[in-house]
Structures are given as C-alpha cells and as structure tokens.
Amino acid sequence: MMEMKAVTSSKLASVGYRPNAMILRIKFIKDGVFEYYGVPESLYSGLIEAESPGRYFKQYIKDKYRYVRLQNLS
C-alpha cells in the first residue's frame, strides 16, 4: 500500500512515492490513477512542494517517464 498525499492543484488530487522502486503514483482529478517508473525521489519532493503541482508535473514528469494507468483504485 502506497501512502498518498493530497496536493493543492486543479489537475492533481494526490501523489505517492515508493523510493526503493522509484515509482511515482499520481491520482488525477479527472483522469484516474497513473504510476510513473524510474522517477527520482527529488522529483517527487519537488512535486509535492511545488506552488503549482500541475505545472511541475507537465514540465518535469509528463512524457519523460514510462507510465501505466491503474484500474480499480480510488
């Protein structure tokens, strides 16, 4: 079970990170839950601390890491 932290964003609901596996999980408000692989912990930290998590995601994570959409996660 991955602990998810709520973020203040119009696009992202919450984020979680598994450091030993370098997996970033993001729950989007409209699009569901996605896992991104090979993401450094520094990017996770930057995402949860960003003034605009949605903008940070778009700039540093989106289209840069392999990902899958997860099913049946609330």
Closest CA to 22 of 66, 73, 56: 66
Q: For residue 73, what pLDDT is reported?
A: 55
Q: State yes or no: pLDDT of 9 exceeds 70.
A: yes
Q: State yes or no: pLDDT of 74 exceeds 90.
A: no
Q: For residue 71, what pLDDT is reported?
A: 80
Distance, in Å, from the CA atom of 73 to the CA atom of 61, rounded to the nearest integer, reads: 21
SS3 28: strand
pLDDT 10s digits, 15-66: 999 999 999 999 999 999 999 999 999 999 999 999 999 999 999 999 999 9
Q: State yes or no: pLDDT of 72 exceeds 80.
A: no
Beta-carbon count within 10 A of 19 CB? 9
Domain boundaries, the chain: 4-70
